[in-house]
Amino acid sequence: MSFGYKTILAHFDSTERAGRRLQAAARLADAHDAHLVALYSIMSPLYSEPFVADGGAFVAQELLRFQERKDAEARAAFDRIAPTLGRAVEWRSETGDPASVINEHGRYADLIVVGQYDDDAANDVTPDFIGRVIMGSGRPVLVVPYTGEFATIGRRPMVAWNASREAARAVSSSMPLLRQAQEVQVTTFNARAGRGGHGDVPGADIATFLARHGVKANVSGSTSKDVDIGNQMLSRTDDFQADLLVMGGYGHSRAYEFVMGGATRTILESMTVPVLFAH
């Protein structure tokens, strides 16, 4: 990972947001001279729409035609946007559970790009999709917000540091971006000094680690008893005018259930800039 991103995998679906997501992935591919893959995978309406036995075969046939139209429209949208990206992009399409498909293909990529789930719009994935990819892919996952245009990603990154295993993996996974950044901010939240915490000076050790990799970072801390850490992160990201947030992703999975930690859930629901997660 420290040698850069060589393969970037972007999830493509039939929503209008897919084009902006692919454009963001293409800009990253340009910056790192990476091979770009657009992987089309959506939740089939045959599985997401229940139907009763009476007329079930007819309904299933209509749902299949509906999906075929969605698939064709998505491919047409890709064909329109691909020539505008300024670089080659490989198209892949696979049926099945989208999270499982992305995880399988993502293990042969350096970075996975997915879109934020929008509770107020149509989605081609289930609400637990992002969490399952973060937990199951073994790769860093860049989540692009469903609103906004992101001309740059990583010129002014903010690292949310809590001295955990997940945060350490996020820093290592984002090193290609941090090395190219104009300015890097490391921020601790409600940091606890001493052994088992952040060391004698919270944030100092990770700043030293980054410096040895050629990354000069500014360190700051945020402490609040009244504001949860997720909202502190959102506030500091805005204060710093960051164009990327780097953080560890927390959660646990039981079969098809996914429960995210508080800060991770807050960020996934309210993000204003792209977020790179690692678990």
Tens digits of residue pLDDT in 4-38: 899 999 999 999 999 999 999 999 999 999 999 99
User: What pLDDT shows up at residue 244?
Assistant: 98
Mean of pLDDT values over 214-218 = 96
Q: Is 266 within the bounds of a domain?
A: yes
Q: Characterise 143 by phi-psi region: left (phi > 0), alpha (psi -120 to 50), beta (else).
A: beta
Asked if pLDDT for residue 193 goes beyond 80, the answer is: no
Q: In total, how many domains does the chain have? A: 2
Percentage of residues in the chain having pLDDT higher than 90: 76
- The residue with tokens 């992935």 is 25
Assign residue 161 the CATH number of its domain: 3.40.50.620
Q: Tell me the per-residue pLDDT of 241-253, one tens digit each, with 9 for 90 and over.
A: 999 999 998 765 5
For residue 86, being part of any structural domain is answered with yes
So what's the pLDDT on residue 75? 97
Region of residue 72 (left: phi > 0; alpha: psi -120 to 50; beta: else)? alpha
Q: How much is the pTM?
A: 0.91
| Cα dihedral 242/243/249/253 (nearest 10) | 140
Task: Measure the CA–CA gap between 121 and 76, rounded to whole angstroms.
Answer: 21
Q: Rounded distance, CA 44 to CA 96, Å?
A: 8
How far apart, in whole angstroms, are the C-alpha atoms of residue 181 and residue 175? 10
Domain encompassing residue 115: 7-144
Does the pLDDT of residue 152 top 90, yes or no?
A: yes
Task: Report the percentage of the chain scoring pLDDT > 70.
Answer: 88
Same domain membership, residue 140 and residue 12: yes
Q: Do residues 217 and 192 share a domain?
A: yes
Alpha helices, DSSP H only, in the chain? 17-32, 45-48, 56-81, 98-106, 129-136, 165-173, 175-180, 204-212, 229-240, 262-270
| Whether residues 80 and 129 fall in one domain | yes
Establish if 251 belongs to a structural domain: yes
- What pLDDT score was predicted for residue 188? 94
Rounded Cα gap, residues 100 and 106, in angstroms: 10
Task: Please list the residues that pair with 247 across neighbouring strands.
Answer: 277
Burial level of 208, CB count in 10 A (0-12/13-18/19+)? exposed
Token pair for 189: 């939240």
- In this structure, is residue 61 part of a structural domain? yes
Q: How far apart are CA 17 and CA 25, in angstroms?
A: 13
